[in-house]
């Protein structure tokens, strides 16, 4: 698997801080970080739990299963997507600075996930 090449496209986004691909249980498969403050292994586990809660909540309120989260923090923005089609299930996280291009991040994250799915 060459997961890193699919993550490299994300590094071109204005405000890029890092990205990672995780198993459906939150274990890091591949990741990059431009700053030392991002703890990829912890992020995977925490985001996995948050995504599961969001999926339960959206199903409970009749909105279907959530597959995308945006978390705004003091340092920046965390974008997370769940890919779960057939036997392929993984999570991808993109970290951006507060003034980063979030719209482009969403678009390129979706495109990267399509490429990543082919690696599994």
Q: Percentage of residues in the chain with pLDDT exceeding 90?
A: 64
Exposed, middle or buried, 97 (CB in 10 Å: 0-12/13-18/19+)?
A: middle
DSSP string, 71-90: EE-SSEEEEEEEEEETTEEE
Q: Are 67 and 84 in contact (CB under 8 A)?
A: yes
- Tens digit of pLDDT for each residue in 38-96? 787 888 888 888 988 999 999 999 999 998 999 999 889 999 999 999 999 999 999 99
Rounded Cα distance between 95 and 48, Å, is: 15
Tokens found for residue 46: 């925490």
Element (H or E) spanning 29, and its range? strand 28-33
pTM of the complete model beyond 0.85: yes
What residue segments make up the domains of the chain, in order of their start? 3-117
**Domain range 3-117, its CATH number among 3.40.50.720, 3.30.420.10, 3.30.450.30, 3.40.50.300:** 3.30.450.30
Give the residues across from 92 on adjacent strands: 21, 81
């Amino acid at each position: 698997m060459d997961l890193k090449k699919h993550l490299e496209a994300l590094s071109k986004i204005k405000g890029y801080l890092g990205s990672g691909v995780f198993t459906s249980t939150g274990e890091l498969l591949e990741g990059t970080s431009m700053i030392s403050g991002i703890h990829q292994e912890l992020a995977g586990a925490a985001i996995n739990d948050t995504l599961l809660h969001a999926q339960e909540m959206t199903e409970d309120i009749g909105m279907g299963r959530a597959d995308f989260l945006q978390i705004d923090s003091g340092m920046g923005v965390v974008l997370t997507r769940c890919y779960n089609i057939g036997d392929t299930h993984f999570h991808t996280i993109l970290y951006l600075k507060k003034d980063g291009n979030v719209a482009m991040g969403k678009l390129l994250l979706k495109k990267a996930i399509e490429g990543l799915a082919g690696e599994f």
